Structures are given as structure tokens and as C-alpha cells.
Structure 1
Amino acid sequence: MDKKVYVFLADGFEEVEALTPVDVLRRADINVTTVSISNSLTVTGSHQISVLADALFTDLEFSDADMLVLPGGLPGTHHLNDHKELINLLLEFSAKGKLIGAICAAPLILGQQKLLENKNATCYPGFEDNLINADYTAQPVEVADNIITGQGVGAAMKFALQLVAMFKGDEFTNELAQKMVVS
């Protein structure tokens, strides 16, 4: 069965943290859909790079999703955090133990929803107070049960490869990293 990942984009998203996972997951033949949470398919990142999302949030139902991914960036993270339907989807996914990835500032969304309680987690330095009752590690990437968190732009490749590993295992992921000349 083909795995399905949704990556959520809001104006002000961090381009590297969104597009690196999309690229790496697609290289691994994992089905990825980029989702705009606004009324436009065109989403502009925090560095004024515009991206054409694959779909609008309102046009999807997500019942086929295996993983949800939240890139960081400001104010993109705040826009994601203010999207009530996305928050409800994250809560539903967490309750079912389905995979959720968040990087940079975006783990604050999971932290504020108390989805990181008693779990190791990481985020961009300075946002750790938002990881309510989590065990903040300051590592580039953390995996705690069904939740994968990443620290920031510098960890985007490692984060993306960890997302692949959740579906394809370490051996496949290591071979993919080698092909991509990731050291």
C-alpha cells in the first residue's frame, strides 16, 4: 500500500524545512501532497519564495494520510497554529498514533496541544518553553513514538531522512542518503 504524506504550507513558512522533506520523500517514492491552508494554491515563504501547493486544505479530507508534516518559519508556524481544522486533524492523528512531523518553530504547535508530554522533543532554540511537559533535548532530530521533531534549517535533511526511515527503514534510508551524497 502506498504511503501518503501531507505537508502543510502557510504564508511565512520556512522554505528549506518544507521543500527538503517533500523532495526527499518523493525520491523515496513516497506519495507527498503539499497543502495550502489558505484560499490560494500560491504560498509565499518567509524568504519571499512562492510555492504552488498541490491542493487546498478545504479540498481534502485526509482519511488516506499516513503522516502529517509541519514546517517551521515565522509567521508560518503561527498561521498553522491558528488553523482550527488543522489542529483538530493533528489531535485526531495523535489519538490514533499516526505519524506527525514538525520542525523548527512548528513543534510549538504540538507542545501547546500537549502532544509532546513526557516525550523527547526538539525545536528551534528559544521555542522550547512551548513544548509543554516535553523533555527538550536540543538534538537535531528526535523520534518519540509517533512524533518526529527537528531543530531547524540545518537539520532539514536529517529530519527528511528520518521521515523516510519511518516508512522504509534504516537500510533503505542510508542507501538513499548515500545516493544523495549526504554525509
Structure 2
Amino acid sequence: MALEGRKVAFLVAAEGIEQVELTEPWKAVEEAGGTPELVSVRPGSVQAFNHLDKADTFTVDKVVSEARPTDYDGLVLPGGVANPDNLRQEPSAVRFAGEFFARGKPVAAICHAPWLLIEADVVRGRRLTSYPSLATDLRNAGAEWVDEEVVVDAGLVTSRRPQDLPAFCAKAVEEIGEGAHRSQARSA
């Protein structure tokens, strides 16, 4: 399988995660033979949402301040408005995401998740997409924003919204399966 023996971090805040943007990529990683691990800002469980309505809770596997990017083969950043907005205010989460770029490891971010990448200062000179309301933020951070279902730029996979999940999941698995991308580190 494409991800056999590979471990993938899913970084989330304590709440505000768009549930389907966590569960669908998680399932794709498992189906490809990989091992997903939920990393968050605090131990215990996190609260997911179906848009604005509370959905399920998920058990945290590791706290981000104790997690090491060297232990993972890739990073997935689910969206939701509150999730990445909270993450970008957590220095340990910003540092964790930035280290994946510095090491050339694949990163997949959907919906509002690129807010965290802006805070980590890793989008300059990159081509990506996001939820449309982030277009100006990404351009102001030096990125080329495009309105496409899925965009791949040297190990960085981005998509706009839950409807893009099939393409997002397929490309995330493909990029993580390929391993490190030397050109990924160019923006770190």
C-alpha cells in the first residue's frame, strides 16, 4: 500500500475542526496503509463541528508541544474557521507546522487551514488554494492563490472546501507516499 509503514500527523486545535475535513483524510491515510495520529494543543479530546453545529469528539494521541516532526512522514491540517484561527495563536503549533516545511515533508491543508501556514511564514512564493475568503490573506503573505479543486506545489497539497475532499485525499496520500520533497523547504 502507498503509505505502509508511514505515520501522518493530523494537527488540530481543541475545537472548531470541520469534522469531515478530519475524518475523510484520516480514512484515506488508513486505507492507504498509513497510521494517522491526532496531535493537538492539549491532551484529552477535541470537539469537531459540522459547519456551525457540534459534532463528534476525538481523542488526542499527542500534545503538539511534545510531538516531533521527525516522527512523522507527513502533516494534514483540517479546516474549519475556528480550528486554524486558534492554531495560529499557539507558538508550538506554528513551529510544528513550519518544521515540516524545513524538513521537506509533505503537508496537506484544506479550507481555512492555510491561515496556520501564513503564520508559519511558509507560503511566500508558493502556489495554493484555500477557502475563498483567505485569498487576500494568502496573496498578502506572498502566495499565488488560485481557485482550483486541489493544488500541489512541491509537497504542499491544498484544497478549498469539503466538496474537494476526494481530490484532496487522493493527492495528500500520493504526496505523503512520495516522501520528502527537497523543494518543499524553499519556503521554510
Q: TM-score range by the shorter chain?
A: 0.7 to 0.9
Query: Alpha carbons of 1:95 and 1:61: their partners in 2 closer, same or farther (altered >3 Å)?
Result: closer
1:33 and 2:37 aligned: yes
Structure 2: distance between partners of 1:163 and 1:105 = 16
Separation in structure 2 between the aligned mates of residue 124 and residue 42 of structure 1, nearest angstrom: 22
Quick one: distance in 2 between partners of 1:41 and 1:15? 13
- Whether 2:9 is the aligned partner of 1:6: answer yes
User: Per-residue deviation at 1:43?
Assistant: 2.7
Instruction: Name the structure with the higher strand share.
Output: 2
Determine whether 1:161 maps to 2:161. Answer: no
**Deviation at residue 116 of structure 1 after TM alignment:** 1.4
Q: Which amino acid aligns with 1:116?
A: V
Could you state the TM-score of these two structures normalised by the residue count of structure 1?
0.84
Matched length: 169
Equivalences for residues 1-183 of structure 1 within 5 A: 2-10=5-13, 11-45=15-49, 46-57=52-63, 58-131=65-138, 132-168=141-177
In 2, the alpha carbon distance for the partners of 1:159 and 1:50 equals 22
Question: CA, structure 1 residues 54+114, in 2 after alignment: closer, same or farther (shift >3 Å)?
Answer: closer
**One-letter amino acid matched to 2:18:** E
Q: CA RMSD in A?
A: 1.8
Any idea what SS the aligned residue of 1:13 has? strand
Tell me the CA shift for residue 48 of structure 1. 0.6
CA contact (8 A) 1:122 1:150 kept: yes
What is the TM-score when the length of structure 2 is the normalising length? 0.82
Shift, 1:122, TM fit: 0.1
The Cα of 1:13 is off from its aligned counterpart by 0.8
User: Contact 2:18–2:48 (CA<8 Å) still a contact in 1?
Assistant: no
State how far apart, in whole Å, the 2-side matches of 1:13 and 1:95 are. 25
Q: Which runs of 5+ in 2 are unaligned?
A: 179-188
Decide whether the 8 Å contact of 1:43 with 1:53 is kept in 2. Answer: no
1 CA distance for matches of 2:6 and 2:173?
10
Letter in 2 for 1:67: G
Residues 12 and 84 of structure 2 are in contact (CA less than 8 Å); yes or no, is this contact kept in structure 1?
no
1:126 Cα shift? 1.1
C-alpha deviation, 1:158, in angstroms = 1.2
From the superposition, tell whether residues 38 and 44 of structure 1 become closer, same or farther in structure 2 (CA, over 3 Å): farther
- Secondary structure, counterpart of 2:54 in structure 1: coil
* Alignment CA distance shift 1:157-1:51 (3 Å): farther
